Structure 1
Amino acid sequence: MSQAPSSPTPSQPRLVLGSTSIYRRELLARLRLPFEVCSPQVDETPLPGEAPAALARRLALAKAQAVAAQFPAALVIGSDQVADVDGQSIGKPGTHERAVEQLRAMSGREVVFQTAVAVVCTARSYVAQDLAPVKVRFRTLSDAEIEQYLRVEQPYDCAGSAKSEGLGIALLEAIESDDPTALIGLPLIRTARMLREGGLNALTSAAPNTATGSHA
């Protein structure tokens, strides 16, 4: 059973992750900060003609702001990821059939996973956001490889239908990034910097045994 995090100290701002993604929750837990999780309830439909990077940035900020409206004194993290194939946005497949289509489209090509993060504290008028693009080169994949991968890992809740932290690494030839957790869904180097700027330093505030966040 996961241990609930300790409460923040009086001088330490409350931290809320504006996402129900298990991947982002697990990544944020690496910073060993007590945090809560709250669903942002944001419409993720792209705007007409919206570029993938712009979509990711807009949604990350919208998620953080939506949750910050409920927790105005807290530091709230929002994040979003969009796969960029020649300027076209590729989101979560949701179904096996769409995942097959996505992997076929990315086979043998370079795809940029646009991962955006925003940190907001309404009470302090603090707003920060950044983009961590990750260049990923896919191998030329056979239909048999695609089918087997999807049956084994079922990555239907992942943008681009691949989990690089799991078997999905075998789909790839190379990954280029300056923030190594960005491809999984939350760029922790950028996140830690924004939290420091917002008054929460992970190195001085980390709890020794924090394992995971709790639901709000």
Structure 2
Amino acid sequence: MSQKLILASTSPFRKQLLEKLHLVFTTAKPDVDETALPEETAIELVERLAIAKAQAIAPQFADALIIGSDQVCVNQGKILGKPGNAANAFEQLKAASGQRITFYTGLALLNTRTATVQSLVEPYTVQFRELSEQMINRYIETEQPFNCAGSFKSEGYGIALFESLEGKDPNSLIGLPLISLIKMLEKENFPVLG
């Protein structure tokens, strides 16, 4: 019998991405402290948190494949989180204007049957346009990207902020690298294409 598939996230964006694969899955909210450890790099942080999120809900699912994911945005060496409000979003977008910003998305797949974990970190780079204060304010008012790392939604109106995008999988920019996830699932004998 095939294992259950669990997404260790209540993010509507990650849920929508996983639905693209036409798989039956359940979501569960992991309770994980997302604070970076001292001296931890962005890459180390997102990989650790992706694994921690999958492990946090593992006791609830005895025979499952659990997907954990985490993402941070890095601008000029500084890790940016979710802005939480308009003032912080404005500052993040003002600092992003004209810059190349890299998003790091950690992905983990925990097999609770075998207690094994596959994990990776996928980078995705965004070149921002030169943004005026008016453009930034208009974007924030329209989209209110307060729960998004970097203060934008690339799957929505945020695409208007960019000059170019560079990476392996555009889904990773939204928060779940599907191409890599498909390969991980197949290694666990959970084929996406049947």
TM-score (norm 1): 0.88
Matched, 1:148 2:101: no
Aligned residues: 194
Query: What are the equivalent positions in structure 2 for 1:197-212 lying under 5 Å apart?
Result: 197-204=187-194
- 2:69 counterpart (64, 67, 79): 79
Amino acid at match of 1:84: V
Percent identical across equivalent pairs?
Answer: 48
Quote the Cα distance in structure 1 between the aligned partners of 2:61 and 2:76: 38
Alignment-derived partner of residue 46 in structure 2: 56
Structure 1 residue 126 corresponds to structure 2 residue 116 = yes
1:15 aligns with 2:8: no
Cα distance in 2 for residues equivalent to 1:165 and 1:89: 21
What letter matches 2:2 in structure 1? Q
Does 1:170 find its partner at 2:160? yes
C-alpha distance in 1 between matches for 2:14 and 2:117: 20
Q: Which amino acid aligns with 1:153?
A: E
Distance 2:46 2:62 in 1: 23
Answer with 26-35 or 50-59: which moved more. Answer: 50-59
**Counterparts of 1:96 and 1:43, CA distance in 2:** 24
Q: Paired residue for 2:31, among 41, 50, 54?
A: 41
- What corresponds to 2:181 in structure 1? 191
Match of 2:56 among 66, 72, 88: 66
Q: Do the aligned partners of 1:91 and 1:159 also contact (CA within 8 Å) in 2?
A: yes
Gap regions ≥5 residues in structure 2? none
State the 1:12 CA deviation. Answer: 1.3
The CA distance in 2 between the partners of 1:141 and 1:72, in whole Å, is: 49
Q: Distance in 2 between matches of 1:127 and 1:157?
A: 28
Paired position in structure 2 for 1:7: none
Q: CA deviation at 1:44?
A: 0.6
Aligned counterparts of 1:72 and 1:199: Cα–Cα separation in 2: 17
Aligned to 1:137: 127
Point out where structure 1 has 5 or more consecutive residues left out of the alignment: 1-10, 205-216
- How far has the Cα of 1:132 moved from its partner? 1.1
Match of 1:29 among 19, 29, 40: 19
Q: What is the RMSD computed on CA atoms of the aligned residues?
A: 0.9
The equivalences for 1:92-131 within 5 A come to 92-131=82-121
- 106-115 vs 86-95, which moves further: 86-95
Aligned match of 1:157:
147
Moved segments of 4+, more than 4 Å: none
Q: How many Å separate the matches in 1 of 2:137 and 2:127? A: 19
Work out which structure has the larger RCO, using CA pairs closer than 8 Å and 6 or more positions apart in sequence. 1
Q: State the secondary structure of the residue aligned to 2:23.
A: coil
Q: TM-score w.r.t. structure 2 length?
A: 0.97
